[in-house]
Chains A and B, each alone.
Chain A
Amino acid sequence: MIEIHNIEKSFDGNPVLKGISCTFETGKCNLLLGGSGTGKSVLLQCVVGLMQPDLGSITFDGTVFSNNKVQVRQEIRRKIGMLFQGSALFDSMTVAKNVEFPLEMLTPEMSREERRDRVEFCLKRVGLENAGDKMPSEISGGMKKRVGIARAIAPNCTYLFCDEPNSGLDPLTSLKIDELIQEITYEYNITTVIITHDMNSVIEIGDHIIFLYKGLKLWDGTKDEILNAQVPELKEFIFSSSLVRAAKRIDDETHSGVASL
């Protein structure tokens, strides 16, 4: 479980996060939802340690992460897996080498054979058992995301962070990536945090959703509760989605009898 308490962050005097407190629960897909520029990415960067918050604390399973000793932060970081928006695969390495990289760096006690077996397992888990020898430039965007997930889970991560895992993907591939993240979360009982503004993902995998608006947490709940939420900013966000608009239109037409014509 990751607990965030009263996080504040400003850039050149402009507040981006204004005292956000929330909890990311273990074994669930925790979604950070919100429009562009609402502070989702900044919050995620603070949580994974790429950015230092101005105020507040972040705790990973009871261990304080922010403002702690470098060694403690390193230990926590080594339990973190992250899928970046652009996948962030290392261009100079093959797919298999990319997945092996964190094992090689973080678990020197593993033998080469053990590492190879783990890489094979992770690639198989994400459905890319035949792509190990390919270079990142030779695979599609969806495959890159899968490799990113395989790399994240290779060292048995406890916390998985995904920064807009569906960006740039077609709806079918997005759905598959969402399902894969959800399966992995349940299978390994890890704490998964996903940044998204995709309502498909919200409806599909949103076990716990946190809605951010202008640097504030306005709402949190589950996918079953979100459509009935009474927060105007959240309602506006939800109903600006093409998917929800289309569903509402079909619903209206069905009830007025137009659809049957």
Chain B
Amino acid sequence: MVKSFGQFLLFMQSMLVRKERFTVLWRRTIDECVTIGVNSIFIVAIVSAFIGAVTCVQIAYNLTNPLIPKSTIGYMVREMTILELAPTITSIVLAGKVGSSIAGSLGTMRITEQVSALEVMGINSASYLVLPRILGAILMFPLLVVLAMALSIIGGYLAGSLTGSISAQEYIEGIRTDFIPYNIFFALVKSVVFAFLVSAISAFKGYYTDGGALEVGTASTTAVNNSIIAILIADFALAAILL
């Protein structure tokens, strides 16, 4: 465990020395933004919209006390979405999609000697392959989280209206009650930290894949598992520190 962590730190360091030209890094980062961000919009949209919808319906189901105003449902959907569901669930979904993709692609490049080909050319493979992926994730995760927040709240609105659990007016009133802008900042900080953890852990697992196709699969699975565990630990740590 300690050895792996030390190896991880050395890997991070190796990525930052002998970097390629800025134009190369910029182009590679934009490519990764498309792969990580744009290609994940659909799954993030589906997951967040349904999470918002289910949250709304289930809160309405549990909120039977007539003394509690119905607008509380909208308020609770907003708070849960912004503070926890959008950043954490989105990052866990992305750990599955993006993390496995990063680990799988780097692992395949390693076992097919593409990484060695870069090294022989005198290119720092860690910097060329990994740094753009981490930067791409750090740029795109917050945007996806903001999208997830919006769609989750809209999902709750539609579910509440369609099932008759809450009127549109009450829901809107609820989501406008006691809004704390700091919570958005907190969610974005979480998304940046989660982006780094998912991309760096997955890249580390993929980059050091040794063996064949079986090991690439194992690296992908381990990358997703470790990323999710890291997200949950970081989630707790950030809540304790920043709230």
Contacts and interface: CB of A to CB of B under 8 A. Distances in A.
A77 interface: yes
Interface range for A: 20 to 34
A161 B116 CA distance: 13
B24 interface: yes
Interface string A102-117: 1011101000000000
B21 interface: yes
Central interface residue in A70, A80, A88, by most chain B CB within 10 Å: A88
Contact of B113 (A74, A77, A85): A85
Given A70-B18, A105-B20, A105-B24, A77 B121 contact: yes
A48 B118 CA distance: 12
Nearest to B21: A108
B10 interface: no
B116 A88 contact: yes
A108 B25 CA distance: 14
A74 to B, nearest CB: 5
Contact of B117 (A74, A84, A106, A108): A84
Interface in A63-120: 70, 74-75, 77-78, 80, 82, 84-86, 88-91, 102, 104-106, 108
Contacts, number: 48
A86 B120 contact: no
Chain A at the B interface: mostly helix, strand, loop or mixed? mixed
A82 B113 CA distance: 11
Given A80-B121, A88-B112, A90-B117, 10 more contacts: A48-B120, A50-B116, A70-B18, A80-B122, A82-B117, A86-B112, A88-B114, A88-B116, A90-B114, A91-B114
B123 interface: yes
Interface string B94-129: 000000000000001000111011011111000000
B214 to A, nearest CB: 17
Q: Which 7 A-B pairs have the closest CB atoms?
A: A77-B122, A88-B113, A88-B117, A78-B122, A84-B113, A82-B120, A74-B122
